[in-house]
Amino acid sequence: MQWGGILVKSAYIDKKDKISFLSKESLVNLFQNYSFLILLVLFCIILSVLSPAFLTVDNFTNILRQISINFILATGMTLVIITAGIDLSVGSILAFSGVVAATFLNSTGNVFISIIIALLIGLMCGLVNGFFVAKTKLNPFIVTLGMMSIARGLALVVTEGNTITISEPAYVFFGSGFILGVPMPVVIAIIVLICAYVFLNKTRIGRYLYAIGGSQETSRLSGIKVDKILLFVYGISGVLSGLAAIVLTSRLWSAPPIAGEGYELQAIAAAVIGGASLMGGKGGIGGTLYGALLIGIISNGLNLLGVSSFFQQVVIGSIIILAVLFDKFRNQ
């Protein structure tokens, strides 16, 4: 009996210690994996208390419509950041693609060709960025900063500083239409989300991006064609900028040459808040969606509360710094 009692007591102690250990481990994993989600829910609860208009179907539909453009840009930004790069030109490429497409649309009335032109303009600018980053080994920050100025200048040259009005219903549908009650910008963003997820998680090139972000030299020695992949990634970022231009100009019914100013910062913020590391080798499209959604919810909530748009920039900048700091401590 005594021996049996010792056994029972030992088993009880081991089981208790195991349960305690698993509980702590579970809490740590919960904190690491769902901390940002918990933060998002917390923001929603606070905003719904402060503003009764926040927690409504119409408002959340509006939020999804608003974040669609940022998410499209942030998707391309995420791919670039995973390779340890950066693309500061996405907002300016958006403006340039938009005004060229709108100019052609008003001249010919051909919606399909106008859309193709917007995507091609974006692709061309992205490939130029990729060429200088991959082939000349220039710093991505400098290259895309230069492209940001060039694309913005070209947008102003094409329009002579004037906004181009769009009235073609078939084109406007991409920004203002609905499919089964879902806003068209949201539908486009969902398609981008699915394609990017499959690319990053189910293709060989998608996995190569993480390797390149970890070490370009090691990737080259492993047989990965780093230059071609970098060219491809910056080209995709440019194409997505052209796609965002279509959504934005069709939603506004116009193509202003100043469109997209500051959009590159919001795209970077969405990617970084979502877990992408500016050092490269880390990030995911699901996290980017979360980042875009968090920024959209905060901006929408501040608008409902009557907070100045200028102060909103302060809030978003603070969130970026806190997100990077939090990610650093979480990894440690």
pLDDT in tens, 95-128: 999 999 999 999 998 999 999 999 999 999 999 9
Q: How far is it, in rounded angstroms, from Cα 266 to Cα 294?
A: 11
According to CATH, the topology of domain 36-331 is: ABC transporter involved in vitamin B12 uptake, BtuC (1.10.3470)
**What is the band of 22 on the pLDDT scale with cuts at 50, 70, 90?**
very low
Percentage of the chain beyond pLDDT 90 is: 59
Q: Phi/psi of residue 46, each to 5°?
A: -65, -45
Q: What is the per-residue pLDDT for 153?
A: 96
Contacts of 104-111 spanning 24+ positions with Cβ under 8 A: 105/166, 105/168, 105/171, 106/164, 106/165, 106/166, 109/168, 111/168, 111/170, 111/171
Q: How far is CA 332 from CA 37, 210, 328, in A?
A: 20, 20, 6
**CB burial class (10 A; 0-12, 13-18, 19+) of residue 222?**
exposed
Percent helix / strand / coil, the chain, rounded to 5: 80, 0, 20
**What is the band of 5 on the pLDDT scale with cuts at 50, 70, 90?**
very low
Say if residue 163's pLDDT is above 80: yes
Q: How far is it, in rounded angstroms, from Cα 43 to Cα 220?
A: 44
Look at 74-83, 209-218, 223-232, 306-315 and tell me which has the smallest mean pLDDT.
Answer: 306-315
Q: What is the per-residue pLDDT for 167?
A: 87
Say if residue 21's pLDDT is above 50: no
pLDDT, average across residues 263-286: 89
